Amino acid sequence: MSRRLFPNAVALIVALVVAFPIYWMVLSALKPAGEIQSASPVPWTLHPTLSSFQRVLQVNDFGRYFINSLIVALAVVALSGLVAFLAAVALTRFRFRFRTTLLVLFLIAQMVPIEALTIPLFFLVRDLGALNTLFSLILVHFAFTLPLAVWMLRGFVAAIPDEIEEAAQLDGASRWQILWRILFPLVAPGLAATSVFSFITAWNDFLFARTFIISATENQTLPMALLVFFKPDENDWGGIMAASVLMTVPVLIFFLLVQRRLVSGLAGAVKD
């Protein structure tokens, strides 16, 4: 017991330091304006209020941006999960020429600095007439999340024993039925893991929202909308923190729910 006293103390202190910014964010979102301005800030509040949240949601129409972000992220999760599933099955269940080449290409694609592609993608989206639409964001994140999703799902598909498929085939199941009725439910845990990554990529994106959504502010997503509270004279920190809480909570919930699968998915993805 005493041997563990010191490591335990260190771990606890580190945990407190690491969690502190999150705590401060939630606390500041709940503090009344006077306490945020106060010269001697205290790490608690005796007068919690939802007024910052009210301001953010009612005056700044943050609910709309929240929905926009949600639409983009969920569309990306659904599309990229589906397409990645098909590609992962093709790459694990079949032997064909260029299979290894394709796999390596998927790996390389993950390393491509997508930020560098902002310029050509801007012109592409402009030529499609899709600037200022949520569709443009769905489209680019669909493409960006696909390589990692394929790479991660591959491990989950490979873990399903061939015999299950063979048995189904003997029972007269068509290829289509095997794919959707048997393989798809079995890789569902893997899809949960990949969907976190797709969700977070789309949810967190600041760069493409900034580049593509130029004038149609009603189609803005959360990361850009947050910047509204930064003013040249004085920032509305209560509002910024309330908006940040609203933006963080969905990811946090999602993350904690699939945390275990996430780690195993990552381990699978990086292992082979």
Show contacts with other proteins in window 33-72 (CB under 8 A): 36-37, 39-41
Query: What burial letters (b/e) apply to 85-101, b meaning 16+ CB within 10 Å?
Result: bebbbebbeeeeeeeee
Q: Site for other proteins (CB under 8 A): which residue of 30, 56, 146, 193? A: 146
Instruction: Indicate the residue among 36 and 61 with the shorter CB distance to other proteins.
Output: 36
The counts of H helices and E strands in the chain are 15, 0
Q: What x/- string results for residues 154 through 193 when contact with other proteins is judged by CB under 8 A?
A: ---------------------x------------------
Which one, 49 or 266, has the nearer CB to other proteins?
266
Under the binding rule (CB under 8 A), the answer on residue 150 touching other proteins is yes
Number of residues in contact with other proteins, rule: CB under 8 A? 93
Distances (CA, A) of 229 to 31, 98, 107, 249: 17, 51, 39, 19
Mark the segment that binds other proteins (CB under 8 A) among 49-57, 58-66, 184-192, 206-214: 206-214
Among 76, 77, 87, 153, binds other proteins (CB under 8 A): 87
How far is 224 from 71, CA to CA, in rounded Å? 16
DSSP letter string over 46-81? Answer: SS--SHHHHIIIIIS-HHHHHHHHHHHHHHHHHHHH
Give the closest residue to 72 by CA, choosing from 122, 150, 128, 141. 141
Using CB under 8 A as the binding rule, the residues of this chain from 116 to 135 that contact other proteins are: 116-124
Residue type, 228: V
Candidates 57-65, 160-168, 183-191, 258-266: pick the segment binding other proteins (CB under 8 A): 258-266
